[in-house]
Amino acid sequence: MSETVLVTGGAGFIGRFVAEELLRRGHRVRVLDSLIEQVHGQVDGSALLSPEAELIHGDVRDRAAVATALKDVDSVIHLAAEVGVGQSMYEVERYTSTNDVGTAVLFEALIADRKRRVVTASSMSIYGEGLYRDADGALVEDADRPNLRDGLTQWDPVDGAGRPLIPVATPEWKRPALSSIYALNKYVQERTTHIMAAPYGMEGVCLRLFNVYGPGQALSNPYTGVLAIFASRLLNGQKPMIFEDGEQRRDFVHVSDVARAFADALVLPAAAGGTFNIGSGQDRSVTDVARELARAMGRNDLAPEIVGKARIGDIRHCFCDTGLAAEKLDFRARQDFGAGLAVLAEWVADQTATDNVAAARAELEMRGLVA
């Protein structure tokens, strides 16, 4: 089934891969993107995309631009969003306006110009802390770390008796625990999609993305994915900066796998009405990831700098239970992590990047967001 698909935010890191995957499958692609400098730098937007994709330079909050972008398309992949947990905690209006109001504008336009399906990008950040198991084997959905500001050295959540909780893969049924404005925004985008789609005869799907990496990330954006931040530091001869003790665990999924998930979620009947985790199903410590990237970039001399402080809004462990996506979408990550890092390192070697990490950290500390 070939369709004309609108991809909001389609000139961004993930959006470009999604657009290419859709084109490869025979779809026609239109992109709506505001091309903000923090993400894209000062570039010609058309140079970011295949010439086969149509680009509309516009903001998702602009009703006229959205109406124009929706004209004569069959389905929508909604990626447009401000991205960054730390920055969301002080640029609250900007994040909420783009992410929540932008989604509202899109769905108001869809009332008058309905489409077959809308697939919205959500985030693992909505879980807050991932799922845990206590020493007695009981699952714990509401793990918390309330004492980060007290300068404690116990980074892992504990139960009521002070025993460490054991992190386990997080499934979609875990209750949200919204610990940042960005997480709140993504949850609102999810709920808006499901609340608005069905009553107006559309199919809504949400994909909760875990830590996406790959070539094409915004290396000069200090609020982007952690691997891009590490790559920027290493490229500039600086040590990767890691908060807490570096043993927090995450799930890293390659952008090509994510693009495939969006293209499948757009058409598979079993996806309709669902919310799915999209990750690799493998967890790694942030320190191990920093060291592996340094090796891939030939910078073994730059060992990670362990900060020993926490950012307010950060979580300790969260990694992906992929069972539902495997069952309903037949999704399994294909990209080997080591091979994916090698490709990323090769791409980074040809880039230039401004290292803004220290400035971003200073901004957070000035605002009392680093414990």
Q: Which residues are catalytic?
A: 182
Beta strands in the chain, from DSSP E residues, in sequence order: 4-8, 28-33, 54-57, 75-78, 117-123, 132-133, 139-140, 166-167, 203-209, 211-213, 241-242, 249-254, 275-278, 283-285, 305-306
* CA proximity to 225, closest of 205, 251, 247: 251
Q: How many CB atoms lie within 10 A of CB 263?
A: 22
Beginning with the edge strand found earlier in the chain, give each strand of the sheet holding 275-278 in spatial order: 54-57, 28-33, 4-8, 75-78, 117-123, 203-209, 275-278
* CA proximity to 172, closest of 87, 77, 273, 75: 273
* CA proximity to 183, closest of 99, 286, 283, 253: 99
Q: How many CB atoms lie within 10 A of CB 173?
A: 10
